[in-house]
C-alpha cells in the first residue's frame, strides 16, 4: 500500500466519505468484497499512472487520458448448481462465498434453499478477469469428491453466437440443453439454455474463461457492460400480431 501513497496502517477503504457529511467516514460500513473492489481500483489507478509516466511523447495526452478513464468491462456469468453441491460453494455461515468475493472482488448472488428444488441459481457479476477467477474457485468447490462438471446458463438469444466463438479442447465434452432441468429454482429465467461441461478441472477452468470472453463479446454494450438480451413476453408477441392484422 505504500506505493499508493497510504500510511502503513491506513487502509484504502477508509478513504470513502459520506457524500452528505464529508467529515463522516463510512468506510467501516462496507462489506469485505466491496473493500476488495475499492482496493483493486486503487491498484488499477496506480498501475495506469505508472503507464502514464512511461508513455512516449508521441502519444497524445488526450488519447492517453481517454485510455486511463476507460470504464472497466463488466460481465454477468450464471450457473446452475446442484442443491447437494451449493453448500460447498456457500460454506459454513457463508464463509466460502465470502472468501471468493473477498479474493476476487466479484458480486455473488445465490438462490435460497427450498424444498423440492434440485438445481439452484448462482450468479457472478464483475470485471471479466475477476469473474474468471471466481468461476474457477466455484468450479473447485463444486468438484470436491466428484468428477468435475459444471452447468452454465447462456441466454438463449446469445447461445448461437457464443458457441461459434468457442473451440473446445478434446478433453472437454459439452451438452447443450434447451431450457432448464426439472426442479430448477424459480429464480432462473426460462429464456436460457443450459450448457453442461465435463472434463478435467484445469481444462474446464480454461473453457469457462473462453465462455466469459465470448459472452462479453456478444453481449456487451457501448460502455463495455454485459447486458442480457431483451426477450419479449408471449403477451407482447400476441399484441404485435394483432397490430399487424
Closest CA to 86 of 210, 195, 187: 187
Q: How far apart are CA 17 and CA 24, in angstroms?
A: 6
Which pLDDT score is estimated for 147? 86
Closest CA to 123 of 228, 229, 218: 228
Which residues, including other chains, have CB under 8 Å from residue 74's CB and lie 6 or more apart?
125, 126, 127, 224, 225, 226
Which pLDDT score is estimated for 224? 78
Count Cβ atoms below 10 Å from residue 50 Cβ, excluding itself: 11
DSSP states of the chain as a string? -GGGT--TT--GGGG-B-SS-TT-B-GGGS-HHHHHHHHHHHHHHHHHHHHHHH--TTS-HHHHHHHHTPPPPBEEEEEEEEHHHHHHHH-GGGHHHHHHHHHH--EEEEPPP-TT--EEEEEEEE-HHHHHHHHHHHHHHHTTTS--EEEEEEEHHHHHHHHHT----TT-EEEEEEB--TTB-TTS-SSEEEEEEES-HHHHHHHHHHHHHHHHHHHB-TTSBB-------HHHHHHHHHHH-
Question: Does the pLDDT at position 9 exceed 60?
Answer: no
The predicted-structure confidence for 186-204, as pLDDT tens digits, reads as follows 888 888 999 999 999 999 9
Instruction: Return the bridge partners of 110, or none.
Output: 122
Q: Which residue has the higher pLDDT, 46 or 25?
A: 46
For 219-235, what is the mean pLDDT?
Answer: 74
For 9-26, what is the mean pLDDT?
Answer: 50
Cell of residue 110, nine digits: 445465490
Which pLDDT score is estimated for 3? 44
Question: Does the pLDDT at position 52 exceed 90?
Answer: no
pTM reported for the whole predicted model: 0.69
Question: Does the pLDDT at position 175 exceed 50?
Answer: yes
Largest CA distance in the chain: 72
End-to-end CA distance of the chain: 67
Confidence of residue 57 (pLDDT cuts 50, 70, 90): very low
The predicted-structure confidence for 64-112, as pLDDT tens digits, reads as follows 555 555 656 889 999 999 998 999 999 998 999 999 998 998 999 999 8
Confidence of residue 134 (pLDDT cuts 50, 70, 90): very high
Confidence of residue 237 (pLDDT cuts 50, 70, 90): very low
Which pLDDT score is estimated for 6? 43
Amino acid at each position: 500500500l505504500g506505493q499508493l501513497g497510504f500510511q502503513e496502517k491506513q487502509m484504502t477503504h477508509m478513504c470513502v466519505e459520506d457524500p452528505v457529511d464529508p467529515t463522516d467516514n463510512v468506510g467501516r460500513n462496507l462489506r469485505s468484497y466491496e473493500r476488495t473492489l475499492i482496493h483493486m481500483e486503487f491498484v488499477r489507478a496506480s498501475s495506469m499512472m505508472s503507464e502514464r509516466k512511461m508513455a512516449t511523447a508521441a502519444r497524445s495526452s488526450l488519447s492517453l487520458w481517454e485510455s486511463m478513464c476507460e470504464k472497466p468491462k463488466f460481465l454477468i456469468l450464471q450457473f446452475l448448481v446442484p442443491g447437494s453441491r451449493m453448500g460447498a460453494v456457500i460454506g459454513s455461515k457463508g464463509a466460502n462465498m465470502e472468501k471468493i468475493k473477498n479474493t476476487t472482488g466479484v458480486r455473488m448472488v445465490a438462490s435460497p434453499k427450498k424444498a423440492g428444488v434440485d438445481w439452484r441459481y448462482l450468479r457472478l457479476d464483475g470485471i471479466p478477469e475477476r469473474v474468471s477467477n471466481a468461476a474457477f474457485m466455484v468450479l473447485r468447490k463444486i468438484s470436491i469428491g466428484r468428477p468435475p462438471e459444471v452447468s452454465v446458463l447462456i441466454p438463449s438469444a446469445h447461445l448461437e453466437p457464443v458457441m461459434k466463438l468457442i473451440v473446445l479442447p478434446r478433453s472437454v465434452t459439452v451438452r447443450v440443453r434447451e431450457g432448464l432441468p426439472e426442479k430448477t429454482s424459480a429464480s432462473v429465467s426460462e429464456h436460457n439454455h443450459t450448457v453442461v461441461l465435463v472434463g478435467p478441472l484445469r481444462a474446464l477452468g480454461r473453457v469457462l474463461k473462453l465462455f466469459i470472453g465470448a459472452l462479453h463479446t456478444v453481449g456487451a454494450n457501448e460502455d463495455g457492460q454485459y447486458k442480457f438480451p431483451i426477450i419479449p413476453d408471449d403477451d407482447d408477441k400476441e399484441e404485435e400480431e394483432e397490430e399487424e392484422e
